[in-house]
Each structure stands twice: as structure tokens, then as C-alpha cells.
Amino acid sequence: MRLKKGTRCTICKSKKLNNKAVVFLPHHRLALCKEHFISWFENRVEKTIKEFKMFSKNDTVLVAVSGGKDSLSLWNALVKLGYNADGLYIDLGIGEYSKDSKILSLDFSKKIGRKLHIVDLKIEIETIPVIKESVNKPACSACGSVKRYYMNKMAKELGYSVIATGHNLDDEVAVLFGNTLGWDIDYLKRQYPVLEEEEGFIKKVKPLCKITEKESALYAVFNNIEYIEYECPFSEGASSIRYKEIWSKLEEQSPGSKLRFYTGFLKKMYPLLNKENSKKDDLKKCIICGEPSFHEICSVCKLKQKIQKVKV
Ligand SMILES: [Zn+2]
Ligand SMILES: [Zn+2]
């Protein structure tokens, strides 16, 4: 499924122009030149935002920025589409990885002239490597709850109306696949590109949910966006990476599989899962920090307590 030499851009061809295609998207049956790939990408993001009623031009959007291709491509596209979008970077304190990604995020925010808010986890709790040592949990699960917590808290404090994350189609398919393997109904019920605002929780959206990892990397490259090219050292061996490998084989053999699996779930399965107005677990307020939580003490305050015990 490679681009054949000399193929012309599908859109240019229809306009009687002669530009060569540089990208081939087999599942959309499109061969595109650089310029038309960029506009195709931005149109697709815009359509997804409208389809799922994610936000409008009146909203203030806080983009969760990691310094990777997905979050920077998302931020770039949103600003170009005319949305009011700033960034939030959480410095996890993971050695060179965090240093490099922070610099790239800061440079990018200057380049597009938008604000980048920064949370330093070392000041708030501790760095992820220290948390990993003191908690009997894989680094990714602690890291995930910490990121969700501060994204939500900061968005509220800074007055943003919606949080946008750079999760792409490959991420969503890997998570959906994992949850389906275990029939984790409670997780499946919440796997939607929009999580509406709920007591204490800001609305959260995933505008790249129909964009593949390759497409977001290409968009970054074509826009000269410098992003961190290596993965977080702790993500090695994560099951999501194995699932992604399986799915790229499947996609290569039958293009469109990922999109079919994901959009089929959203259209056919998700409504069934949420049909009976099943009672939601009661959201409480954490007795220590006051943030929303399903338990008396939220997961981040529990983390803090554990780390303090280890330190003493
Ligand atoms: Zn073209
Ligand atoms: Zn708390």
C-alpha cells in the first residue's frame, strides 16, 4: 500500500493541476500533495469537532501538551482553524525525556504565539520516577491519574471551558481493543470522544480521534513542527504498544479496519451500553483537596500520603 511513483494528487487532478502526491491514504482512497494533505487534515479535525459538538469559537480550550506529535499537531490545527486554544504542559520530571519535551513545547508555544501553562509535578507532589519507587503500581497508571487530576484542576483554576487531548485513532483503537478483550463494561461506557462536564469535572474532548498516528506525524512534519520523537522511557512494554502492533498489521492487510472498529463502536455499541440510564457511581468531593472523586480521598491525595510515609 505504498504511493506509486508519479501519482498525482487527487484534489489537484480534479482542479486540472499537475502536482504530484506525496501521501497515500488507502483507507480514504486519496493521494495528496503536501498542501492538500494539510487542508484535508484540518477539515477532518473541524468535522470531528462539529460531529461530536466538542466546542465552538466562543469556548476557551486548554490543550494538554506533551511535546509529542499528536498534541502539537492538534494545537497547531486548532489555532489555524481559529479556535481560542492555549496549552498546558505537565512537567513529570522524567529525566531527559521531560527536559526535551518541555523545551519543544515552550518553543512551539512561542512560534504560534499562544500561552503555555506549566505544572511542575516535583513541586506539586514528586517526580514520576520517585512516585514509581514509592507506589506499588506501574508508572503509567500513576502518571495517568496525576495528569488527569492536574489537567482538570488547572483548567478550572485558569477558567478554560474545555480540555482537549491529542489522543489519536490508534490510541483509541488500542484502548477499545484492550477493554473489549476484558469486557470492561464500565470503561467501555465511558469511551467516547466527548466527556461532558460533570460536577467538578471540566468537559474533555479528543478532536484527533479519527486521525491516525501516521497522519498526525505527517501533519507535524509538513508544518515544520519539532516534536519529541522518542517515547517516554516508562511506556516500554505497555500492553497498548502490543495492541498497536497487531492493529497496524490488520490495517495493512485491510485498510480502514481501525476506523471501522472505532466508529462502529461509537455508532452501534456505545448507545446500547448507555441505554438504560444506569445509575452513575456517586461523585463525592475529596475530603482533603476538594476535587471530585469516587472515594473519600482522591487518588492523587492518596499518592501524596504514600510518598510522605516513604520519605519519613
Ligand atoms: Zn494537491
Ligand atoms: Zn484529593
Q: Would you say residue 312 lies in a domain?
A: no
- Classify residue 27: in a domain, yes or no: yes
Residue 309 is assigned to a structural domain of this protein = no
Check whether residue 182 and residue 208 sit in a common domain: yes
What Å distances lie between residue 240 and 53, 89, 101, 175, 177, CA to CA?
28, 23, 21, 7, 9
Does residue 289 belong to any structural domain of this protein?
Answer: no
Nearest partner of 271 among 189, 155, 200, 187, judged by Cα:
189
Instruction: Tell whether 117 and 59 lie within a shared domain.
Output: yes
Residue of 2, 22, 18, 85 lying closest to 219 (CA atoms): 22
Q: What is the pLDDT of residue 263?
A: 98
Rounded mean pLDDT of 168-175?
Answer: 96
**Cell numbers placing 277:** 440510564
Q: Assess whether 216 and 110 both reside in one domain.
A: yes
Element (H, E) at 288: none
What pTM, to 2 d.p., does this model score? 0.94
Cα 19 to middle of ligand 1, angstroms: 6
pLDDT band for position 283 (cuts 50, 70, 90): confident
Check whether residue 193 and residue 83 sit in a common domain. yes
- Is the model's pLDDT at 264 over the cut of 90? yes
- Asked if residue 250 is part of any domain, the answer here is yes
Q: Three cell numbers at 270?
A: 456505545
* Least confident stretch, 80-89, 163-172, 299-308: 299-308
Do 83 and 115 fall into the same domain? yes
Task: Tell me, yes or no, whether 310 lies in a domain.
Answer: no
Q: Which residues contact 265 (CB under 8 A, 6 or more apart)?
A: 176, 191
Shared domain for 13 and 94, answered yes or no, is no
Q: How far is the CA of 71 from the centre of ligand 2 (A)?
A: 27
**Residue 244: which CATH number?**
3.40.50.620
Helix (H) or strand (E) holding 15: none
Provide the domain limits for residue 140.
43-281
To 10 degrees, what angle do helices 169-181 and 239-253 make?
Answer: 110
3-state secondary structure of 234: helix
Mark whether 21 and 122 lie in a shared domain: no
Q: Are residues 260 and 202 in the same domain?
A: yes
Note whether residue 305 is domain-resident.
Answer: no
Beta strands 284-285 and 60-65 are unpaired
127 and 233 part of one domain: yes
Listed range (12-26, 29-43, 215-229, 270-284) with the worst mean pLDDT: 270-284
**Number of domains making up the chain:** 2
Give the model confidence (pLDDT) of 8-43 as tens digits: 999 999 999 999 999 999 999 999 999 999 999 999
Distance from the alpha carbon of residue 287 to the mean position of ligand 2, in angstroms? 7
Which residues surround the ion ligand 2 when the cut-off is CB under 5 Å? Answer: 286, 288-289, 298, 301
Q: Which ligand lies nearest to the CA atom of residue 293 in the structure?
A: 2
Q: Using the mean position of ligand 2's atoms as its centre, give its distance from the Cα of residue 134 in Å.
A: 18
Categorise residue 278: left if φ over 0, alpha if ψ from -120 to 50, beta otherwise: beta
Helix, strand, coil percentages (3-state) for the chain, rounded to 5, are 50, 15, 35
Q: Which residues of 62-76 are buried (b: 16+ CB within 10 A; e: fewer)?
A: bbbbbbbbbbbbbbb
For ligand 1, the distance from its centroid to the CA atom of residue 260, given in whole angstroms, is 26
290 inside domain: no
Partner residues linked to 31 by β-bridges: 24
**CA–CA gap between residue 150 and residue 113 (Å, rounded):** 23
